[in-house]
Chain A
């Protein structure tokens, strides 16, 4: 069974960076891209970017360009989202999800709180 397990909640100061991990199991990691989506409290879903797990190519939402980096470690079957220069508005649950044209399954989500 395919599973995506994400790292635990983080509390960060404004201006800092956060790195969230997403470990995949139950399939060959390099055969599907991984997407990152976030959801601010009480708000909708917002696509952030994706990574081709086979070759590491990435594409980011223009909104986050310059602040977001998505990487992967194929030996660990893990993808990473790094968001820098954090602002209070970045407080959200961050999800990873497998897939290209549809996202399935999703990780359980990682709460990131940005607060001084």
Chain B
């Protein structure tokens, strides 16, 4: 399968830790990238190469994976972390890309 599955929504209390997961066969052999999107804005890369962060992304964001499931963890979630999070990976052919359906994160 070339699909990536994400939970539609997740909530976390302010300052607590939250994990957003992404599941798919293609993840057995590759690490996804993770994007954050806030309303009315373009997506923003937050994790690539399994657990690398672009300049400017806080170190409370981290990535990990095991088997066919990858996770984006936010340790000490802040109000500004609210938004939609998408995982993305090449499909099983390696020639095309596929996005997960997205997870809406609410910080309570």
Contacts and interface: CB of A to CB of B under 8 A. Distances in A.
A108 B43 CA distance: 9
A62 B33 CA distance: 22
A32 B101 CA distance: 26
B88 interface: yes
A88 to B, nearest CB: 22
Contacts, number: 55
A44 B7 CA distance: 13
Contact of A47 (B42, B48, B49, B98): B98
Contacts of B49: 101-102
B33 A103 contact: yes
Interface residues of B, number: 22
Given A101-B48, A103-B45, A45 B86 contact: yes
Interface string A97-116: 10001111111110000000
Closest 7 CB pairs of A and B: A102-B48, A104-B45, A106-B42, A44-B102, A102-B33, A45-B99, A47-B97
Interface of A: 35, 37, 44-47, 50, 59, 61-62, 95, 97, 101-109
